[in-house]
Amino acid sequence: MMYGTEAILQAKIGQESARIMAYGGCNQKLWAIDLDLHEENRTREDIRLTAYRKRMTRAYNKRVHPKAFQEGDLVMRKIQHQGERGKLDAKYEGPFKVIGKSGVAAYYLEDAKGKKGKSPWNAQHLKR
């Protein structure tokens, strides 16, 4: 007994279900047709997936505004560690001069005194 009810077994263990008893021989024909159409269905799904990816890329790229700087441009650098700063204090410091590029969107900076930075800064933390 489990949870207050008795377990009941079928009268005949070997009894087949109604679905198996109604099974006909036409299933082999349907399998053959399905196998013939399998490649076509896969091609159709690939086309739909490619179109979906293009739509997603286009929608994403609408909102992306890449920043690109040239060597010699003056930029402001975002202050990374605010510490004891208030909300009305400056969010950017600078100006800095772009002296080189590292990778796709990282730039080496130099301050007004000519001191070069140790590591590159990502373009999302810089503004003209």
Q: Please, what is the average pLDDT of the chain?
A: 83
Cα 120 off chain centre by: 25
Question: Model pTM?
Answer: 0.53
At residue 60, the 3 state secondary structure works out as helix
Average pLDDT over residues 14-35: 69
Per-residue pLDDT tens digits for 75-122: 999 988 767 878 888 889 989 999 999 888 899 999 989 899 889 999
CA dihedral 88, 91, 81, 112 (to 10 degrees): -130
Segments making up each domain of the chain, as ranges: 18-63, 74-127
Average pLDDT over residues 1-28: 62
Here the tokens at position 110 are: 């130099």
Residues 6 or more apart in contact with residue 78 via CB below 8 angstroms: 91, 92, 125, 126, 127
Give residue 37's pLDDT. 86
Residues 6 or more apart in contact with residue 125 via CB below 8 angstroms: 77, 78, 80
Give residue 88's pLDDT. 87
Give residue 74's pLDDT. 94
Class of domain 74-127: mainly beta
